[in-house]
Amino acid sequence: MIELVFPDGSKREFESGATGRDVAASISKSLEKRSVLVKLDGALLDLDRPLPKGGAFELLTRDSPAALETIRHDASHVMAEAVQELFPGTQVTIGPAIEDGFYYDFARSEPFSLDDLPKIEQRMREIVDRDEKISREVWAREAAIEHFKSIGEDYKAEIVADLPEGDEISVYRQGAWKDLCLGPHLPSTKFVGKAFKLTKLAGAYWRGDHRNAQLQRIYGTAWASDADLEAYLLRIEEAEKRDHRRIGATMDLFHIQEEGKGMIFWHPKGWTLYRTLQNYVRRRMEAEGYVEVKTPQVLDYSLWEQSGHAQKFGANMFVCETDEGEKLALKPMNCPGHLQIFNHGQRSYRELPMRMAEFDGLHRYESSGSLHGLLRVRGLAQDDAHIFCREDQIEAESKAFVELLQVIYRDLDVELDSVKLALRPDLRFGDDEIWTIAEDTLERAANAAGVKVERLENEGAFYGPKLEFHLRDAIGRTWQCGTLQLDYVLPERMDASYIAEDGQKHRPVMLHRAILGSLERFLGVLIEHYSGAFPLWLAPVQVVVATITSDADEYALKAVDVLRKAGLRVESDLRNEKINYKVREHSLAKAPVIAVVGRREAELGQVALRRFGSTGQEVVSLLEAANMLALEAVPPDLAVRATGDQRSPHGVVGAMEAG
C-alpha cells in the first residue's frame, strides 16, 4: 500500500501499483477525463505510470501552469513525428521544451526550408487529431541500442550508450512512432492542442560542440490556449518594435556600416546618451574611491604573451606588424595596462585596496556570426576597473562591488535576470586549492550583499572564477553586463607586488570588475528597456521648444537660451508647421518635454509644457520652467545632494556637467 497526501491535506491509501489515472477515477469520472499528469513529491509523472511510492500527490489538468512545459515537450515530439513522416530518412536527436516553446534537432542531408514549416505544422495538427496514445516502456540497454541502430537512428543509439549505467531506458510510443525520452508525457497527442506555431530554422551542433556534425533545429512555440498563443505573438511583435537597432535608427542615435562591422558610429544624440551614462557611472565610482587612468591603445605583443591573453585569445585580437618588424596588438582589455601602472614604482600595503578605473576603447575580433547590433560589437568601452588588494580584503571589496552594482542598476531601473558564478574552466592557470578559495569567496560576498547566485560549471575565465550579472533584452534574450572576476594569476604572471607590514614583498590579488560591462551593450539593453523614452536625466534631447506661429520665434530662441543655461539639453522647432504636426512628431520621437510657445507665452514670458505620455499642459513662467526642469534632470547620484540640505552647491553644476 502507498499513502497519498492530497493538496487539501487529506490522506488516502492506494494499492501499490496504482496509477494516477486510478486515483483520479476513484475520485470522479470527470477528473479522470481532465487529468493529464501527476505531481508526486514535486516531480511530474505520466498519468498512466504506476506510482513508485507514496507522498504529496496532485493531479494536473491541461490548464495547470505546471503542465505547460509538458505540452511543449509533447509538441516537440509531435513535430518530430510529423517531420519523420514527411521527410523519411531524417534522424531525430533531442527535442526539449524551452522558455515559451520547444525545439527539435534533426539530422538530414537536405536542409529544411522555411516553406517546409507550414507543411510540418499541418501534419502536426493531423497527428493531434489522430489522438495517438502515448505510452511509456522500459527497454534493456543493449536492445535499445540495437533497435535504434537497426532503424538508422545513430544519434539515439549514441544517447542510449552514453546514459549512466543503471539508469532506466524509457521509450515513449506515440501511435506508430517512438522516441527515447525521459518523459513525462501527456496521455495522448490530442492534449497537445493546436495552440502552437513553428517559428524559426537554425543550425545547431550535435551536443553543442562545433567539432561535431551540424544538425538542423526547428523552433516552435506552444501554449495551452489560442488566446495565450496570440498574446505571445503579440508580445514578440511589440518587443521587436523596441529593438535597439530600430530605435537607434529612428532616434538618430548611431549607425553601423559595412566597412566597420561590429563598430559603432555614434551620432550626436547617441553620443550624448553615451556620455551621460558614462559620466554618471564615473561619478558613482569616484564616490567609492576609484581612481581613473588611461593606458595605451596599442601595445607590444609580448606584453599579451606575458599576460597569457595571447595564448588564450590571440585569435580574437587585432594584431599588426610595423615596417620595423615590431608585432603590436590593439588592446582587447585594460588589465595588463593597469598592471604596468601598478608595477611602476614600489607599492605599499597602505595603498591597498587600489581601485583603478578606465573607460578607454577596446577592440576584440569577435566572430562575424556573433555580431549583434550594440549587444555584441568589435569596438567597445567598459566601465572597467581593477582592484588590487590583499587576500583578506577580497570579500569586503567584492561585497562593496555588488552593492554598488545594485545601486546603479536601481538608478537605471534595469532588473537583473540572474547572477551566475562561473566556476573553473578546463583550460586554466593556477592550482585547484586557490580556485576553491576563490570560488567560495565570491559566493560568500555575493550572498553578503543579498544576491543569490547560480553556479555554472566550467564557465570561469582562465585566471579565475567570476560573478556574471545578466540583464534581459526586449524579447527575453539575456546578456551579460556586469562582472566581477577574482584573479590570483595575472599579478603572478606580471610579477606585481607590494611591501607589507612585515617589510617583505607580497603578491596582491586582482579583482576585474565592470558594472555596465560594455557601454555599447548596456546602452542597447537600456534603449530597449526604455523603448527610447528615457528618463529626463538620460534623454539626449530633454526639451524641444516648439513655436505655434513665427511671431514667437524670437521668444522661442530666448527660451532655448535660458533653458540651456540652466543645464538642459534643448532643441528648437521653429518650422513653419502646425503645432499639431510638431507635437505629433516630437511625441513620436519621445521627447520628454515639449515646451510650446505662441504669442500668448511670448507676451507673458511663459512656456506651456507638455510631458511625454501625457496630453495635459502646464503653463509656467520661463524661469520657473528652467529651475523646475533643471532640478528634475539632475542625475540620480546627484539628486540627493541637490535636493538635500548640506553639500548642495554641486547639484545644479552636476546637472550641467552631465550635459
Q: Within positions 561 to 580, which residues make up the interface with RNA, using CB under 7 A?
A: 576-580
Q: Which stretch binds RNA (CB under 7 A): 27-35, 51-59, 122-130, 596-604?
A: 596-604
C-alpha cell at 295: 593606458
Which parts of 331-350 interact with RNA (CB under 7 A)? Answer: 332-333, 335
Mask for 232-261, x = binds RNA (CB under 7 A): -----------x-x---x------x-x--x
Let me know if 384 is a catalytic residue: yes
Let me know if 364 is a catalytic residue: yes
Q: Determine the residue type at 290.
A: Y
Let me know if 311 is a catalytic residue: no
Q: Which stretch binds RNA (CB under 7 A): 71-79, 210-218, 278-286, 410-418?
A: 210-218
The correct pick among 209, 431, 502, 645 for binding RNA (CB under 7 A) is 209
Which parts of 487-516 interact with RNA (CB under 7 A)? Answer: 512
User: Which is nearest to 492 in space by CA: 510, 465, 473, 469?
Assistant: 510
Let me know if 382 is a catalytic residue: yes
Nearer to RNA, 210 or 350 (CB): 210
Let me know if 650 is a catalytic residue: no
Which H or E element spans position 374?
Answer: none
Which of 84, 174, 216, 382 is the catalytic position?
Answer: 382
Nearer to RNA, 261 or 647 (CB): 261
Look at phi and psi of residue 166 and say left if phi exceeds 0, alpha if psi is from -120 to 50, else beta: left
The correct pick among 122, 311, 550, 621 for binding RNA (CB under 7 A) is 550
Give the E-state strand segments of 54-176 in sequence order. 55-61, 91-92, 97-98, 101-107, 134-139, 169-174
Q: Which stretch binds RNA (CB under 7 A): 11-19, 565-573, 586-594, 647-655?
A: 586-594
Site membership for RNA, residue 205 (CB under 7 A)? yes
> What is the C-alpha to C-alpha distance for residues 312 and 334, in angstroms, rounded to an integer?
16
Site membership for RNA, residue 262 (CB under 7 A)? yes
Q: How far is the CB of 285 from RNA (least distance, A)?
A: 18
Please give the C-alpha separations between residue 349 and each of 82, 285, 338, 507, 647, in angstroms, as whole numbers.
68, 22, 17, 10, 32
Nearer to RNA, 246 or 506 (CB): 246
Site membership for RNA, residue 584 (CB under 7 A)? yes
Residues shown for the chain: 659
Nearer to RNA, 531 or 587 (CB): 587
Say whether 490 sits in a helix, a strand or coil. helix
Which H or E element spans position 82?
Answer: helix 68-86
Three-state SS string over 510-564 comes to EEEEEEEEEHHHHHHHHHHHHCCCCCCCCCCCCEEEEECCHHHHHHHHHHHHHHH
Q: Which stretch binds RNA (CB under 7 A): 203-211, 274-282, 435-443, 495-503?
A: 203-211
Nearer to RNA, 48 or 571 (CB): 571
Nearer to RNA, 190 or 477 (CB): 477
> What is the C-alpha to C-alpha distance for residues 470 and 472, in angstroms, rounded to an integer?
7
Q: What DSSP string runs through 147-216?
A: HHHHTT-HHHHHHHHHSPTT--EEEEEETTEEEE------SBGGGG-S-EEEEEEEEEEGGG-TTSPEEE
Which parts of 52-71 interact with RNA (CB under 7 A)? Answer: none
Site membership for RNA, residue 594 (CB under 7 A)? yes
Q: How far is the CB of 301 from RNA (least distance, A)?
A: 12
Q: Which stretch binds RNA (CB under 7 A): 67-75, 139-147, 149-157, 598-606?
A: 598-606
Question: What is the CB-side half-sphere exposure of residue 155 using CA atoms within 13 A?
Answer: 20
Let me know if 389 is a catalytic residue: no
According to DSSP, the β-strands at 43-46 and 298-300 are unpaired
Let me know if 335 is a catalytic residue: yes
> What is the C-alpha to C-alpha distance for residues 340 and 288, in angstroms, rounded to an integer?
23
Nearer to RNA, 247 or 642 (CB): 247
C-alpha cell at 655: 546637472
Which parts of 452-491 interact with RNA (CB under 7 A)? Answer: 461-462, 466, 475, 477, 480, 483, 485
CA 75, chain centre distance (Å): 27
Nearer to RNA, 377 or 655 (CB): 377
Site membership for RNA, residue 109 (CB under 7 A)? no
Q: How far is the CB of 519 from RNA (least distance, A)?
A: 15
Residue with cell 558610429: 265
H-state helical runs in 381-431: 394-411
Q: How many contiguous H segments (helices) and E segments (strands) does the chain have?
A: 22, 34
Nearer to RNA, 135 or 316 (CB): 316
Please give the C-alpha separations between residue 121 and each of 78, 81, 171, in angstroms, as whole numbers.
10, 11, 24
Q: Which stretch binds RNA (CB under 7 A): 35-43, 341-349, 527-535, 607-615?
A: 607-615
Site membership for RNA, residue 587 (CB under 7 A)? yes
Q: Which stretch binds RNA (CB under 7 A): 35-43, 106-114, 386-394, 528-536?
A: 106-114
Range 598-612 burial, b when 16+ CB lie within 10 A, else e: beebbeeebbbbbeb
Which parts of 369-408 interact with RNA (CB under 7 A)? Answer: 369-373, 376
Nearer to RNA, 312 or 472 (CB): 312
Q: Residue count at the site for RNA (CB under 7 A)?
A: 78
Q: How far is the CB of 59 from RNA (least distance, A)?
A: 34
> Is the bond preceding residue 353 a cis peptide, omega within 30 degrees?
yes
Question: What is the CB-side half-sphere exposure of residue 362 using CA atoms within 13 A?
Answer: 23
Nearer to RNA, 211 or 350 (CB): 211
Site membership for RNA, residue 449 (CB under 7 A)? no
The correct pick among 313, 403, 557, 631 for binding RNA (CB under 7 A) is 313
Site membership for RNA, residue 210 (CB under 7 A)? yes
How many C-beta atoms lie closer than 10 Å to residue 324's C-beta? 5
Site membership for RNA, residue 330 (CB under 7 A)? no
Catalytic residues, by residue number, are 335, 364, 382, 384, 386, 466, 512
